[in-house]
Amino acid sequence: MVIDKHKMLEYCNEFSKNTLMETLKIEFIDAGEGFLVAKMPVNSSVHQPMGLLHGGASVALAESVGSAASHFFINDKNQEVRGIEISANHLKSIREGFVIGTARIIHKGRSLHLWEIKITDEQGNLISLCKLTNMVLTKEIK
């Protein structure tokens, strides 16, 4: 599969408009063979009450980047992707700056995709480690 990085990033950032990804200011910033990267600002809008990055915001970043990455392995004319399971281990806290989510394919089957998503801070410290399973469905013709 030949990857056109710029087209992939443009596509991902375009379909994020008017969604949770736009609300969280998630921006897709890098792509390549078997991986996709997005960043999200850490500020009060994604904090939990103690002023730290909310685990749910981390999971939203992980599912966003992993689900978007699965789109590059399907025929979007007759297939669609659904996240069916996500797990997250939150290992370090962060109060400000950016977090970067990098999704890497672990298993690419016809009906299931398994992704590992590492969320790091700007210095490369691991904040959360996530695993996402996506199901590939045939679109219903209406």
Q: Which residues contact 12 (CB under 8 A, 6 or more apart)?
A: 28, 31, 36, 38, 68
Main-chain phi, psi angles of 46, to 5 degrees:
-120, 20
Q: Which residues contact 73 (CB under 8 A, 6 or more apart)?
A: 105, 108, 113, 136
Distance CA 55, CA 70 (A): 23
Q: Which of 10, 14, 27, 63 is catalytic?
A: 63
What the block records as the tokens of 131 is 């695993």
Q: How far is CA 36 from CA 19, 78, 132, 133, in A?
A: 19, 22, 13, 15
Residue 76: strand pairing partners: none
Catalytic residue list contains 14: no
Catalytic residues: 63
